[in-house]
Amino acid sequence: MTSDESQGFLQDDANIQRLCALGGVSRAGYYRHFGPHACAREDADLRDLIQHIALADRHCGYRRITWKLKREHGLIVNAKRVLRLMREDNLLCLRAKPFVPRTTDSRHGFAIRPNLIRGATPTGLDQIWVADITYVRLAETFVYLAVVIDAFSRKVVGWALDDHLEARLAIAALDQAIAARDPPPESLIHHSDRGVQYACGDYIERLERREIAISMSRPANPYDNAKAESFMKTLKTEEVNGKAYRNLEDARQQIGAFIETVYNTQRLHSALGYKPPVEFEDDLGHTGQRQRNEQEALSLN
């Protein structure tokens, strides 16, 4: 290249750089404009695939969709291109809200009970109940859900939803569970975290009056209450996330319907042999009655 040609090239490049700056585009984008482009049909086909994947799982981010396109469809696509198409089609994955209200306050003066269920495995109903509280976001505020779950059948046996975190929220869920199951004295362990709602005098008094043993998790150890944590994750993923509850009563109706109609009676649980909790408990009752009938027949013989 001669000196004149070199000088002309530098001038052209400077002009292009100045024009790109004035137009608000990158120089790389300018040159990319003259490169080969995918045809409109290919872009439409890719967009269709992305839409199917994203709508099937609204929690699937653009990186995972890029890998799915490669693994399942053999397409090598730039992740930034996938992100751009998802943003244009309003398909960006659902994210957890940045603010998470505190539901457990263990900084209190009430007695902390030892963990009685560590390493224990229930063999029947109403041997271990697990309790927990989570938040649910409304349009402009939060409400709170307290649940009591049978650790053997995974059934939600008591729940309450309200706009406060006072002890009466947890007590309402406990009262519902006791009324529904009526556990015999000294047959049941109630396990929870160390939150003030579960450690306070009114809650403990109800448990002791029914002769229910009291168990609490170790500090900062959610695995001690894994079954309750698992339910809360399912609730958020399958019901709460993506919903827009109008108010407290709307949230109470919809979440209550999910618990009673979907989770307890329809949702299949792998730990229960892919049965919903209500069916699992019904089968236990039938099995127990059959065994009692067989024992009575043997005693008569």
DSSP per position, 159-205: EEEES--SHHHHHHHHHHHHHHH-PPTT--EEEE-S-HHHHSHHHHH
> Given a cut of 50, is residue 19 above it in pLDDT?
yes
Same domain, 141 and 236: yes
User: What CA–CA distance (Å, rounded) separates 173 from 253?
Assistant: 15
Res. 221: pLDDT tops 80: no
**270 with 133, same domain?**
yes
Q: How many CB atoms lie within 10 A of CB 223?
A: 9
Q: What is the pLDDT of residue 95?
A: 56
On whether residue 255 sits in a domain, the answer given is yes
**15 and 83 part of one domain:** yes
Q: Which pair of tokens denotes residue 163? A: 């706009």
Rounded Cα gap, residues 165 and 143, in angstroms? 9
In a domain, 262, yes or no: yes
Residue 20 lies in a domain: yes
Instruction: Over range 192-214, report the average pLDDT.
Output: 95
Q: What is the pLDDT of residue 58?
A: 67
Residue 55's φ and ψ, nearest 5 degrees, are -75, -25
Residue 9 has a pLDDT of 44
* Confidence band for 182, pLDDT divided at 50, 70 and 90: very high
Q: What is the mean pLDDT of residues 278-296?
A: 72
pLDDT digits (tens, 9 = 90+) for 34-58: 555 556 667 778 888 888 887 777 6
**Is 288 a residue whose pLDDT tops 60?**
no
- CA 118, 121, 123 angle in degrees (round to 5)? 150
- 275 touches 286 (CB < 8 A): no
**Structural domain tally of the chain?**
2
Asked if the structure places residue 119 within a domain, the reply is no
Q: At 265, which CATH number? A: 3.30.420.10
pLDDT given at position 197: 93
> Exposure pattern of 171-194 as b/e (b: 16+ CB <10 Å)?
bbbbebbbeebebeeeebbbbbbb
**pLDDT more than 70, % of the chain:** 75
Instruction: Based on the fold, state whether residues 133 and 75 are members of the same structural domain.
Output: no
Task: Let me know whether 225 and 136 are in one domain.
Answer: yes
**Contact between 182 and 212 (Cβ < 8 Å):** no
Judge whether 94 lies within some domain: no
Residue 15 inside a domain? The answer is yes
Mark whether 84 and 132 lie in a shared domain.
no
Tokens coding 267: 């949702």
Residue 55 sits in the same domain as residue 139 = no
Tell me: do 280 and 166 sit in the same domain: yes
Res 111: pLDDT: 86
Q: Are residues 143 and 256 in the same domain?
A: yes
Rg of the chain over Cα atoms, rounded to whole angstroms, equals 29
Higher pLDDT, 147 or 105: 147
Give the pLDDT confidence of 227-239 residue by residue, as tens digits: 999 999 999 999 9
pLDDT tens-place string over residues 123-149: 999 999 999 999 998 888 889 999 999
Same domain as 61, residue 154: no
Domain for residue 103, yes or no? Answer: no
Q: Which residue has the tokens 């009970």?
A: 113
Does 166 share its domain with 256?
A: yes
The answer to whether 280 touches 265, Cβ cutoff 8 Å, is no
pLDDT at 258: 96
Q: Which domain holds residue 29?
A: 3-88
CA distances from 244 to 171, 249, 255 (A): 27, 13, 12
Do 180 and 276 fall into the same domain?
yes
Phi-psi region of 250 (alpha: psi -120 to 50; beta: other; left: phi over 0): alpha
Domain assignment present for residue 291? The answer is: no
